[in-house]
Amino acid sequence: MELEKIPTVPTAEELLDRSFRRAAARMREKRGSTQRGGSRKGSSRKGSSHANEEFIRAVGASLHDRLVRIISSFPEFDALPPFYRNLAEALCGIEKIRMSLGALGWAAKHSRRLGSQLGREARKAGDSPAIRKRAVARLASMIHQVDGDLRFLNVVRNQLRELPELSDEFTVVVAGYPNVGKSSFIRLVSTAEPEVASYPFTTRGIFIGHRAIGRDRVQFVDTPGLLDRDPEERNPIERQALSALMHAAHVVLFILDPSEECGYPLESQRRLLAAVQGMVGVPVIVAVNKADRRREEGFLNMSSTTGEGVDAVLEAVLRTRAARPTAR
């Protein structure tokens, strides 16, 4: 996946250190080439001033090239599939990412320009170590201005690389309030290994598992718990669940907990169910979990603890596969 290829983003100090070492290596290579070519040896005021100029220009060019590589390693977010674009927005904020990439673009442009300007000044100033020191300090100061952007983009890089890879297969998205048994169901019917615990918001991101059906596979997506509240009040964890519901599902399995051991009243769970049914354009299968504690007439009842009814729920979900084999 494209997001997995984003390299580590260096800090300002790391970026400067690499650029200085690259510039120094280029200078050594050039001196070695000049000596092999039989040029006059020895140092002169003119030669030292030219060396200062070349080093400063090389540092500026190296900073420019490295910054441009960082910028180009990030995807064009408008071109991402909606599922990944919405996850990136929920986790990091796409506009904030663009602003940081823009700051790096500014630094890249000015590092080359400043390197050329300072190089010319060094040539005119003659043999002066102080000239090189001042030039390096000015370039370093400019790069330190975007250190916060570099650090933020490395956090973004780490989060984007951890996003699950959604394959082009029939996809079941499991949704509901926190702690109603979504992850337990997923563990029973697929290869996913989400964390399961008896407290809400255990699932902090999207988990994906698969189940072989003959020669085909079905993809199960375990989502973080949703709460019945206005969209603008939902946190990044909940927005990940919404992205999966809106852009990944061929069918939604919505799980209710009538025992209310999840910590939320059944009335609130039903309101969330109605909201989900209104927002997705795919079938919504409703299952009642924790049937070993309380059952609900008119629904598919199951217990992810005892395994009772799990096969019947799975069969009901998979029946929709024949009716919607490819649509998402």
Residue 237 near residue 175 (C-beta atoms within 8 A): no
Per-residue pLDDT, 23: 86
Per-residue pLDDT of the chain (328 residues), as tens digits, is: 578 889 999 999 999 999 999 888 877 776 666 555 555 444 444 456 677 888 888 999 999 999 999 999 999 999 988 888 888 888 889 999 999 999 999 999 999 999 888 888 877 776 667 878 888 899 999 999 999 999 999 999 998 988 888 888 899 999 999 999 998 899 899 886 654 444 444 446 778 889 998 888 999 998 888 888 887 788 887 888 888 899 999 999 999 999 999 999 999 999 999 999 999 999 999 999 998 899 988 899 999 989 999 999 999 999 998 765 444 4
pTM over 0.85: no
Radius of gyration of the chain (CA): 29
Instruction: Estimate the share of the chain in helix, then strand, then coil, as percent rounded to the nearest 5.
Output: 55, 10, 35
Per-residue pLDDT, 197: 40
Per-residue pLDDT, 42: 45
Q: For the beta carbon of residue 214, count every other beta carbon within 10 angstroms.
A: 5
Query: Phi, psi at residue 288, to the nearest 5°?
Result: -100, 120
DSSP strand pairing (284-288 vs 300-301): parallel
Report helix, strand or coil for 217: strand
In 3D, which of 204, 103, 97 has the Cα closest to residue 154?
Answer: 97
In 3D, which of 311, 320, 302 has the Cα closest to residue 257?
Answer: 302
Sheet of strand 170-176: strand arrangement: 207-213, 216-222, 170-176, 251-256, 284-288, 300-301
The topology (CATH level 3) of 2-161 is Four Helix Bundle (Hemerythrin (Met), subunit A) (1.20.120)
Residue 282 near residue 250 (C-beta atoms within 8 A): yes
Residue owning tokens 């809106």: 246
Report helix, strand or coil for 162: coil
> Distance between CA atoms of 218 and 168, rounded to whole angstroms?
10
> Distance between CA atoms of 314 and 311, rounded to whole angstroms?
5
Helix (H) or strand (E) holding 171: strand 170-176
Domain ranges of the chain: 2-161, 170-323
Per-residue pLDDT, 199: 41
Architecture of the 170-323 domain: 3-Layer(aba) Sandwich (3.40)
